[in-house]
Amino acid sequence: MDSTAFDLPGIDLSWCPGCGDFKILDSIKKALAELGLGPLDVVMVSGIGQAAKTPHYMKAHFFNGLHGRALSNATAIKAANPALEVIAVGGDGDMYGEGGNHFTHTIRRNPGITNLVFNNMVYGLTKGQASPTSPRGFRTSVQVDGVHAQPFNPLAAALVQGATFVARAFAGNGDQTKEIIKRAVRHKGYALVDIFQPCVSFNSVNTYKWFMDNTYTLEGHEEEDFGKAMELALLQEGPFPLGVLYRKEGVPLFEETLAAYRKDDRPLFRREAPRKAVKELLASMAG
């Protein structure tokens, strides 16, 4: 499969020139193509934000919902048709802020979905307010004295909630990001990839150079070592590790535990609707 199979010719991308989202989009397309997947195999799910526009810019099934709700919609889509590769994409504000509650509880359920978070440490769509991952002291037009709150730590939070695949990538390293995404998609269970992504318009601190100077690639890391993964995730200052911090296999999937699949493994959309039961239910509700 060629990655151009996911191209949408003639579209107008609204991202700023130099935005890290372009590189992530390219990495996603290449990863899916190298996995032998085509547009009909994939569902891209998003909420609101610049990163959440990603599904608009590639050929695949997609569902664009409310702010912060991508993970719940992605879980439902996977439950309805486990044969699909479901990828929830969004920014740090959308996923960790508005969607923070959904982030936590989706991890607990362990659906077989991939969660890509474009983490530029700022709200780009609404002109540069601090996001949950903005570092202390970060100044914006709203936080004129600098951010006072402790930044949200997505990797540590995911590990604590039982995530079975936790990784970090950097948009500027396209090949490495592609390989991490491939592993996340292949993983059987919820997979988080937090992707450092420079916002060239509203974050003059965390630039491409800053990320290159403050990251390194994990080598010789034992991915099943939870304690070591947590130690790496809790780093407050760089350099920050890039790669798969933690991986655990064999945890039951959310969709596998559903009563609907105990006696019948056909996807829900291939089954005949129980019209008689629905009519009886509606009649009983009508009194």
In 10 A of CB 278, how many CB atoms? Answer: 10
Q: What's the token pair of residue 279?
A: 């009519």
In degrees and rounded to multiples of 5, residue 262 shows phi and psi of: -70, -35
Which tens digit of pLDDT belongs to each residue from 213-238? Answer: 999 999 999 999 999 999 999 998 88
The pLDDT assigned to 269 comes to 80
- Is residue 77 over pLDDT 90? yes
Which tens digit of pLDDT belongs to each residue from 116-126? Answer: 999 999 998 88
The domains of the chain are located at 3-253
Please state whether 64 falls in left (phi above 0), alpha (psi between -120 and 50) or beta: beta
Entry pTM: 0.94
pLDDT band at 268 (very low <50, low <70, confident <90, very high): confident
Residues with Cβ within 8 Å of residue 131, at least 6 apart in sequence: 91, 92, 93, 96, 97, 120, 121, 122, 123
CA-based torsion, 113, 117, 118, 122: positive or negative: positive
What class does CATH assign to 3-253?
alpha beta
The pLDDT assigned to 28 comes to 98
What is the mean pLDDT of the segment spanning 35-40?
97
Give percent of the chain with pLDDT exceeding 90: 87
